[in-house]
């Protein structure tokens, strides 16, 4: 299988490319980027198994020319509210399979609307297969499957762990995405209907096995709008983030300035990156249970760093199920987002995806297949799904997590 990696030398794409090249199903990767020197240098690391080309993703002619002769398009060029729909349309028009890590809700709606067109073209497209969305979706499917009836769903992640590995003169696409989804209006599911809501609403959650209630804050994301598509019983669906109080206060200071036009999204992103790095927030992701333990000890939050929480009915009683992962690919936001994308392409190569059509992860990916592939790529590596995915249930009190440090690589 020959893969074109749009943005394949970037902070996320490079980790997906490296994971792809280490697998036998991948015959060749073409690293495509607007910065041809970066693409050339990264491709040179992999010998004959990789090559490079210059591509401006906003140029339809260049895109379609680059798509010629490959089997799958892997797109890690963000922000997706600018480039996602354009890239998917080009893939469908050239009849190439497509995957990305789209984390914006607006293009997600537009891309899902191309489902029939993709089916007619015989194209399988998975959008949003990263960390959140991605791992969070797979955790949510596991949580929902534990209930007889799922009525509410919360997917959540830790903003402190989503800081870019490096900062430069321009804010990263991930930071631009974050500012975009924390300003204006976001779409969520409330009382069975989609509504436009202000982000940064404080949501108190009770996670099974963790004492008390914990604060989280709403943010625009694809999960709240994709899950009702596949699970119509849902009456409420939100994506939430956790963070230090000082971080939330800073974001609440920035958001009105962006909303009223005093600050551009670009400038706000620059301020956010430099402020978070100067305050010493963590920039790497370790074993998830280690992160949770640190939070419990420091009083940051009582919620896991990446989780899904489903509420509903079990045996006629009100019930809740929480799912988190106990390990993750080492190195921070880049690998935690890029490695799941490469796993999606491996599942496509092994004919383990539903298709053709355009899907969110929960509509086409079997979570057991996904986690079986993810476990060995984590640090520490995990061979069993049961050891990777930690499930707590309100109807099983003995499922509460033991607050101890997980064994980490090199310790």
Token output for 340: 């799941």
Q: Binning pLDDT at 50, 70 and 90, where does residue 402 land?
A: very low
Does 296 fall in a domain? Answer: yes
Q: Is the peptide bond before 112 cis (omega within 30 degrees of 0)?
A: no
Does 298 fall in a domain? Answer: yes
Q: Are 138 and 372 in contact (CB under 8 A)?
A: no
Which three-class secondary structure state does DSSP give residue 140? helix
Q: Are residues 260 and 188 in the same domain?
A: yes
Q: Are residues 316 and 363 in the same domain?
A: no
CA distance 367 to 271: 37
Domain coverage including residue 358: 2-130+333-374
CA distance 118 to 211: 46
Does 31 fall in a domain? Answer: yes
Does 410 fall in a domain? Answer: no
Tell me how many domains the chain contains: 2
Q: What is the pLDDT of residues 223-279, one digit of tens each?
A: 999 999 999 999 999 999 998 888 888 888 888 888 888 888 888 777 877 776 554
Q: Are residues 173 and 304 in the same domain?
A: yes
Does 291 fall in a domain? Answer: yes
Q: Are residues 125 and 269 in the same domain?
A: no
Q: Are residues 229 and 84 in the same domain?
A: no
Q: For the residues 136-140, what does the mean pLDDT come to?
A: 98
Q: Are 95 and 122 in contact (CB under 8 A)?
A: yes
Q: Are residues 114 and 195 in the same domain?
A: no
Q: For the residues 366-387, what does the mean pLDDT come to?
A: 94
Residues in the chain: 411
pLDDT at 17 over 90: yes
Does 406 fall in a domain? Answer: no
pLDDT at 322 over 80: yes
Q: Binning pLDDT at 50, 70 and 90, where does residue 113 land?
A: very high
Does 177 fall in a domain? Answer: yes
Mean pLDDT (the chain) is: 87
Identify the weakest region by mean pLDDT among 148-152, 164-168, 228-232.
Answer: 164-168
CA distance 151 to 168: 43
- Cross-strand partners of 321: 310, 393
Whichever domain contains 56, its CATH number is: 3.40.50.720
How many other CB atoms are there within 10 angstroms of residue 385's CB atom? 16
Q: Are residues 308 and 160 in the same domain?
A: yes
Q: Are residues 174 and 270 in the same domain?
A: yes
CA distance 66 to 54: 9
- Cross-strand partners of 362: none
Which pLDDT score is estimated for 391? 95
pLDDT at 388 over 80: yes
Q: Binning pLDDT at 50, 70 and 90, where does residue 290 land?
A: low
Is the C-alpha dihedral spanning 355, 92, 17, 408 positive or negative? negative
Does 17 fall in a domain? Answer: yes
Q: pTM here? A: 0.90
Q: Are residues 361 and 382 in the same domain?
A: no
Q: Are residues 85 and 190 in the same domain?
A: no
Q: Are 57 and 86 in contact (CB under 8 A)?
A: yes
Q: What is the pLDDT of residues 23-82, one digit of tens each?
A: 888 899 999 999 999 999 999 999 999 999 999 999 989 999 999 989 999 999 988 998
Which three-class secondary structure state does DSSP give residue 371? helix
Q: Are residues 176 and 288 in the same domain?
A: yes
Whichever domain contains 198, its CATH number is: 3.30.360
Q: Are residues 87 and 207 in the same domain?
A: no
């Amino acid at each position: 299988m020959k893969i074109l990696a749009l943005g394949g030398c970037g902070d996320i794409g490079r980790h997906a490319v490296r994971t792809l090249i280490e697998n036998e199903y991948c015959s060749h990767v073409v690293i495509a980027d607007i910065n041809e020197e970066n693409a050339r240098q990264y491709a040179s690391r992999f010998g004959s198994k990789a090559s490079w080309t210059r591509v401006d993703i906003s140029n339809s002619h260049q895109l379609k020319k680059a798509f010629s002769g490959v089997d799958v398009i892997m797109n890690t060029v963000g922000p997706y509210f600018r480039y996602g729909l354009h890239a998917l349309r080009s893939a469908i028009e050239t009849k190439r399979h497509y995957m990305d890590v789209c984390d914006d809700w607006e293009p997600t709606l537009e891309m899902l609307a191309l489902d029939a067109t993709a089916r007619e073209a015989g194209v399988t497209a998975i959008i949003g297969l990263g960390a959140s969305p991605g791992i969070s979706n797979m955790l949510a499917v596991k949580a929902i499957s534990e209930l007889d009836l799922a009525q509410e769903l919360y997917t959540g992640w830790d903003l402190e762990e989503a800081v870019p590995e490096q900062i430069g003169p321009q804010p990263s696409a991930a930071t631009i995405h974050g500012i975009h989804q924390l300003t204006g209006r976001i779409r969520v599911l409330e009382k069975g209907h989609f509504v436009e809501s202000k982000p940064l609403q404080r949501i108190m959650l009770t996670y099974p096995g963790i004492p008390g209630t914990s604060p989280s804050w709403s943010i625009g994301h694809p999960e709240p709008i994709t899950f009702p598509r596949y699970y119509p019983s849902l009456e409420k669906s939100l994506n939430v983030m956790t963070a230090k109080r000082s971080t939330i206060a800073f974001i609440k200071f920035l958001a009105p300035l962006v909303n009223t036009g005093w600050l551009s999204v670009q400038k706000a992103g620059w301020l956010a990156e430099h402020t978070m790095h100067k305050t010493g927030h963590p920039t790497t992701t370790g074993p998830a249970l280690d992160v949770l333990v640190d939070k419990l000890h420091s009083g940051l939050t009582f919620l896991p760093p990446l989780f899904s929480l489903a509420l509903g009915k079990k045996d006629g009683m009100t019930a809740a199920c929480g799912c988190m992962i106990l390990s993750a690919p080492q190195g921070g936001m880049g690998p935690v987002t890029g490695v799941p994308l490469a796993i999606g392409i491996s599942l496509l190569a092994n004919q383990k995806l539903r298709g053709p059509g355009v899907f969110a992860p929960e509509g086409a990916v079997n979570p057991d297949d996904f986690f079986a592939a993810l476990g060995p790529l984590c640090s520490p590596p995990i061979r069993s799904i049961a050891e990777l995915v930690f499930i707590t249930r309100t109807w099983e009190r003995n499922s509460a997590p033991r607050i101890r440090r997980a064994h980490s690589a090199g310790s």
